[in-house]
A = this chain, B = another copy of it.
């Protein structure tokens, strides 16, 4: 069974019940850690639901660079490219740990929505949420300096599948400096320097491929007035 957050229950049923509908023709598969579910250019015919494990979605840039778009875990879905008009995925979806996903043919999903309007309505709300998240992401790149973006990214990731709660409200985030830089949209060196500054202020501890911090403390720090670092470009 899919581990379900209560807010993932939809209409009368849930994603996990939904995936068992024979008409949906959902196929379960096991993805090894480090393997890609799809790459940019892969024909896009399926939307994927995560049963267990973790998927990270990347957008490719020039010269082997990439932008980390989303960290997804159980009961979340990915593969928005299958819903669009292009016919291919434009991103890379990679399993971070051994991951079990259900592949649902997009035409079957649309067919299910025709019979379950409440499921369709929930799905539409989730799509709308993804639009707003992507737009806010872009705005941060325009309006915020790298340090602010780093803190917002850490806070955002603290509620994803990459985070493990520790004692006293501390969160352990499994992420490398490189991956964090790919999410923040900055050079790895810049992000490493900003992390060092947070560590010197006792707001963060670092370990091998992991960061430990208290989200509330980081949030307080982010709103505290301080000398502004210059924005990358002033907006007219």
Contacts and interface: CB of A to CB of B under 8 A. Distances in A.
A221 interface: no
Nearest to A69: B135
Interface in A38-82: 59, 61-62, 65-67, 69, 80-81
A236 B189 contact: yes
Contacts of A67: 138-139, 142-143, 235
Interface string A99-136: 00000000000100110010011011101111110111
Stoichiometry (number of copies): 2
B181 A236 contact: yes
Nearest to A135: B134
Nearest to A234: B187
Nearest to A231: B62
Contacts of A234: 187
Given A181-B236, A186-B233, A233-B187, A83 B125 contact: yes
B110 A235 contact: no
A121 B112 CA distance: 11
A85 interface: yes
Interface string A166-193: 0000000000011001100111111100
Contacts of A84: 125, 128-129, 131-132
Given A120-B120, A139-B61, A141-B138, A235 B127 contact: no
A210 interface: no
Given A59-B135, A124-B124, A232 B235 contact: no
B141 A142 contact: yes
A90 interface: yes
Q: Which of A67, A83, A235 has the most CB of B within 10 A?
A: A235
Interface of A: 59, 61-62, 65-67, 69, 80-81, 83-86, 90-91, 110, 113-114, 117, 120-121, 123-125, 127-132, 134-139, 141-143, 146, 177-178, 181-182, 185-191, 232-236
